Amino acid sequence: MLNADQVKKDFPVLRNNKSLVYLDSTATALKPYRVIKKIDEYYKKYSANVFRGIYRISEKATKEFEDTRSIVSKFINAEHEEIIFTRNTTESLNLIAYSLGREVVGNGDNIVTSVMEHHSNFVPWQMLCFENGASLKVLDINENGLLQADRKVLNKVITRKTKIFALTCASNVLGTINPVKSIISDVRRINPNTIIVLDCAQYIPHSKIDVKEIGADFIAFSSHKMLGPTGVGVLWGKKSILEHMMPFQFGGEMIEQVSLQKTTFAKPPFKFEAGTPHIAGVIGLKEAVLYLQDVGFDKIKKHEEKIVKYFFKRIQEEFGNDVKVVGPKNSELRSPIFSFTFLNFHPHDIAQILDEENIAVRAGHHCAMPLHQRLSLIATTRASFYIYNTIEDVESLIQGLKRVKKVLR
């Protein structure tokens, strides 16, 4: 069993803010000492550019950088050259839309996504449809916040004109974990040529993923959601597709040859990594992956299921129907992300009062406006838990919400 009290000691933000109850890991996770130490090590000991120097500290930086690519590739069971470093999940998804989408999607085609998507996995496809004369089809959810994507629905939505199917593995609002493997299998059965893109930003911090098993063509995720530095994202794509895609950006390090007449590009992944990358951040990501593997994803899953069950039990006991949490209540169907409304109190007021109690939550539409419109909500308050959160943190939130009710009434 994961000992969250012990895990807390690994995070300097929690050590330096003893009373802080951090419930905003869905926005960005805290960073353990070993990740910060690894970043510090780069800047202090071998702060040189990668790939470009034949001197020792540059070679050391390059090795550390490429070691991250190897560790990430093993982490998701991919090939080394299939791992592309970007700035974040958003850039990874936009890379696909610009480099591949504008090539394969044309007038009369369609792209399928869902109403629960983060804007990063909705707007790029919407804009691509506007530009190229394609149509955007949006899968709905049911009253429990579960995606409506059974075979009957998919048979109506997926056609021979469906060029891209883009779906989140886990909703950043509902907490819903989608059965992406079975959904992908059904999509492949209807149209095996559809390019399948998964937004794994909210899934990978909590569960392992095997790209060879899941059946997608691309997955995207961010370092900062999984204890790593901000400014680093990962795009995995099938090598056979990456080799034929045009680059997203042009510049240094992604070139094979340049002449006055023409330019040829390097092979993947370097073809998609123009310019100097966030070297320290990539090296820090490696340490975050290793940290999570040391903790163990089975332990993380059990710990989070315990949090989910306890949260719903205590919310019901203390507030009944005054607090309405969106998304499924089954701990096996959701991650520990709780977006809720509280009577008629505005989410920003709730968040402000909780902050006075040193409880950090998020308020707003969480970059998921279509979903909030579908739920007939302007905004929600979101409390999200991770490996350093305890049952006591749930109790702190409960007590904080009691004060919210007292103040706002």
Task: Reduce the DSSP state of residue 195 to 3 states and report it.
Answer: strand
Return phi, psi of residue 305, to 5°.
-65, -40
Residue 4 has which token pair?
């969250």
Cα–Cα distances (Å) from 176 to 76, 196, 318, in that order, read 21, 19, 24
Residues in the chain: 409
Return phi, psi of residue 300, to 5°.
-60, -45
Return phi, psi of residue 382, to 5°.
-125, 125
The 8-class DSSP code of residue 334 comes to B
Indicate the helix (H) or strand (E) that contains 370.
Answer: helix 369-374
Kindly name the residue from 129, 169, 200, 367 that is annotated as catalytic: 367
Cα 397 to Cα 389: distance, rounded to the nearest angstrom = 11
Q: How far is CA 372 from its chain centroid?
A: 19
Question: Dihedral through CA 316, CA 321, CA 323, CA 324, nearest 10?
Answer: 100
- Whether 381 and 342 have beta carbons less than 8 Å apart is answered as yes
Indicate the helix (H) or strand (E) that contains 326.
Answer: none
Question: ω before 277 within 30° of 0 (cis)?
Answer: no
Cα 382 to Cα 384: distance, rounded to the nearest angstrom = 6
Active site residue 367: yes
AA identity, residue 97:
A
Task: Reduce the DSSP state of residue 24 to 3 states and report it.
Answer: strand
Active site residues: 367
